[in-house]
Amino acid sequence: MNELTSLKNDFQAISLSEMDDVKLMSRTDTKFAFNDIKLPVLLQKLSEHYRILEIDGERIHHYKSLYFDTEDRKFYLDHHNSRVNRNKIRFREYVGSGLTFLEIKLKNNKGKTIKKRTKVKSIPVELTEKQKEYIDKIVGYHLDVSAKQWINFSRITFVHKTQKERLTMDVNLTFKNKKQEGDLKNIVIAEVKQERMSRSSDFMRIAKEMSILPMRLSKYCISTLSLNPELKHNKFKEKLLFINKLKLQ
């Protein structure tokens, strides 16, 4: 996507240390998905309201993630069945900064996303005993989980100039397991992160003007289903149709 190279000129920068006030480890998330053909106009409209994260001169940052789940896909099925107080477990490498974390996300019954994480040296294929203990402590009970799939993408992070709000856009998304691979390379997945849900977001306003509508979309669930189409997915049929339609635009 060549249009991303114009970001350096269009947005004011914000450093990682300046983002301390908007870490939002406990937050509400609102997701959007759209074809990347809308990206140039969208970025142009956003530059007035947001600053862009810059680390060592780079404004597009690469993420590598390895997701874990139980043998019977508890995390996937909990999401599919709309269960509250559900978890996701992953290792994520923030490539540009050289940092890697074991991250556990909880979606609670109030719609809040709470993320806990601990620093690790690198992404392991198998959990250490210490990592198993950390997971059990955070989740609150014992789980037998194993590595299921890689999800890699590039992320652009924006911070609102006046509101306590972060906006991320994930592009060039690829995923794979030991047998198969796939991608959503022409689809942008955007996420507005706020302390509490507010429609006053400039991104939400601009997105609505451009017919970009909110869509609850999990990168983990969509990639899991793409790699394992035999899994239960009746509640995801509408999302799959939506994604397939975006691919054809």
- Looking up residue 171, the CATH number of its domain turns out to be 2.40.320.10
Looking at residue 16, its pLDDT comes to 83
DSSP string, the chain: -GGGGGHHHHSEEE-TGGGGGG--SEEEEEEEEEEGGGHHHHHHHHTTTEEEE-BTTB-SEEEEEEEEE-TT-HHHHHHHTT-SSEEEEEEEEETTTTEEEEEEEEE-TTS-EEEEEEEESS--SS--HHHHHHHHHHHSS----EEEEEEEEEEEEEEESSSSEEEEEEEEEEEE-SS-EEEETTEEEEEEEESS--TT-HHHHHHHHTT--B----HHHHHHHHH-TTS--GGGHHHHHHHHHHHT-
pLDDT score for 7 = 61
Q: What is the pLDDT of residues 112-139, one digit of tens each?
A: 788 899 999 999 999 999 999 999 999 9
- Which domain range does residue 92 map to? 2-247
pLDDT value, residue 112:
78
What global pTM score does this model have? 0.89
Residues of the chain short of pLDDT 50, as ranges, are none
pLDDT in tens, 137-184: 999 999 999 999 999 999 999 999 988 889 999 999 999 999 999 999
Looking at residue 114, its pLDDT comes to 86
Q: Say how many domains are in the chain.
A: 1
Output the pLDDT for position 111: 75
